[in-house]
Structures are given as C-alpha cells and as structure tokens.
Amino acid sequence: MRLLCICLFALCPILSHAQEARKVSCRFVCFEGAVPPPPLINVFDKGIEVTCTVPANTFSEPLVCYAKTNVITFVSSDNRATVATANIPEHVKAAILVFVPAAKAADPVQWRIFVIEDTIKNFPDGGAFVANFYKQDIRFILGEKNIILKSGTDHGFARPEKRDAFNMAPVIFQFQQNDAWRTTSETLLRFVPGMRYLIFAYIDTASGRPRISTFQDFMPVAVPPPSKLTVPPIKPTPTPTKPTSPPARLTNPATKPAIPPAAPQ
C-alpha cells in the first residue's frame, strides 16, 4: 500500500502537465508594414515543440499549438529567447494570431499578439471583423450599417444585405480627431460567401497619420461527401447465334442428271 502511494505521488506532476496542455488551432498573420519574424517555436514542455511561420499580408494554414494555463509561448529558433506570448481564453478552440511589433525596440518581448476567436459567430463568413487600435473612437459605414467603435475594442459584422449586382458595398472610415471627424478611407468591397475581411484602424508610426489596413481571408470550402451511386447490374451480352443455312441437296452419285434433248437443226 505504501509503495502504491509513493508511485501515485510520483505520477502526479506528470499528470498535471498532461492536463495543462490545451490544443488550440491557430492561424498566423503579420501586421501590415512590419517585417515578419523568422520561424518561431511554440514550446510547451520537454519534447513538445511546434515550428510556426508567420506570413505577411496573408493568413497561414491552421496549425495546432499548445497552451499552458491559457498562454501560448513562442521562442526564437536561434537563441530560444521568448519572442511573444498569446493569452488564449479558456473557451477558445480556434484563433487567429496577429503579430504586431512592440511599441519600443527596448521592450523585452519583441512582438505583441492580437488574438481573434476564429468562429462563424465572431468572424462571420462573407462579413468583416474590425479592430480599433486608434487612440480615439472611429466610425464607419459597412454597407447599410453605421457603426461607432470605441478605442481598443473590436467586433465582427455579418455580410451587408444591401449590395450591387457585383456584390459590392460601400466601406467608409472616419477617425475622431479632437472634436472633428476626418475621412481616412472610402472604397467599395466585394462581399461573397467564402471570403471575409479583417480590418484594422491604427496610427502609422512612420507618418503619424491614421490608417486603415485590410486583409482578405479566403475560407476553405467544404467538399460535399460523394453521393451513393446505384450502379445497375450488368446484363450479360447474348452470344450471337450463327445463321442456319438451308439444308444441302443430296445427289445420288449413281444417278446421272438428265441431259435435255438437243434443239432441232
């Protein structure tokens, strides 16, 4: 009994590590204008490492990463130093991780990660997800919708109902500057099933001006399962029959055929 208790105590740390590991399906993208980091490694515990590539201006393919106490840690593939961490809420099973450069070069962590829950409810198919990184409010028109979005907030919006014959709808953004509103972006976007937009409002560090950044995300189209085809039974091909030839006339070799009489001269 004592030996059994000792074994159970020895297994407790291993079991606790296994329970803390949480799989999260992740897609990565680097913020517009920034140089993507070199390949990173998601480390969870000894023997559990996942190599992650962060593309620019496009979304990566889904990759399963491991979170420990709701945090995904990324280290450099060169010196194994921590490069970024992502806080994943308990209920999130799939997420889009947007890598944003740190505000200052002297920051101990080089990248900040903006986490978006990747669900149809939060990021609708054919719609848009808007995040306001600006220091003040923004307001915008998305199809027939007029929205004000507070600083530091985000929201997903369904596909606009009012679209033209080409599925285009107006998208206009205004930034609040003191007591005035200034138009920063005015365009038409195409809203179709299987495609959605990720839109950021922020301050361009190079110019110091408000800016809108738009990413297109093409959702994978589910292939319907093949339908069951009923194959009719193969009928055997009938064997062609040889035509029956009329019976041959038998002649008696002993009987000579009659010679017709000669015609008179």
Instruction: List the pLDDT tens digit at each of the 265 positions of the chain.
Output: 444 444 444 444 444 444 567 999 999 999 887 889 999 999 887 678 999 999 988 899 999 999 999 999 999 988 889 999 999 999 999 999 999 988 776 676 789 999 999 999 999 999 999 999 999 999 999 999 999 999 999 999 999 999 999 999 999 999 999 889 999 999 999 999 999 999 999 998 888 899 999 999 987 544 444 554 445 555 666 666 665 555 555 455 454 445 455 555 5
Question: What is the C-alpha to C-alpha distance for residues 162 and 143, in angstroms, rounded to an integer?
Answer: 6
Q: Closest by alpha carbon to 204, among 45, 80, 33, 58? A: 33
Domain count, the chain: 2
Within-domain flag for 234: no
Within-domain flag for 148: yes
Within-domain flag for 210: yes
Same domain as 145, residue 111 = no
Question: What is the C-alpha to C-alpha distance for residues 68 and 21, in angstroms, rounded to an integer?
Answer: 6
Within-domain flag for 247: no
52: left (phi over 0), alpha (psi -120 to 50) or beta: beta
Q: What is the CA radius of gyration of the chain?
A: 38
Domain range holding 143? 123-220
Same domain as 106, residue 31 = yes
Same domain as 75, residue 30 = yes
Same domain as 112, residue 149 = no
Using alpha carbons only, give the angle 100, 82, 205 rounded to the nearest 5 degrees. 25
Same domain as 213, residue 147 = yes
Could you tell me if 99 and 72 are in contact, meaning their C-beta atoms sit under 8 angstroms apart?
A: no
Give the residue from 119, 151, 173 where a domain finishes.
119
Q: What is the CATH number of the domain that holds 150?
A: 2.60.40
Q: Closest by alpha carbon to 38, among 18, 17, 20, 54? A: 54
Question: What is the C-alpha to C-alpha distance for residues 30 and 46, in angstroms, rounded to an integer?
Answer: 28
Same domain as 24, residue 41 = yes
The pTM of this model reads 0.73
Amino acid at 128: A
Same domain as 92, residue 139 = no
Q: What is the pLDDT of residue 103?
A: 74
Same domain as 127, residue 203 = yes
Question: What is the C-alpha to C-alpha distance for residues 263 and 115, in angstroms, rounded to an integer?
Answer: 122
Q: What is the pLDDT of residue 5?
A: 42
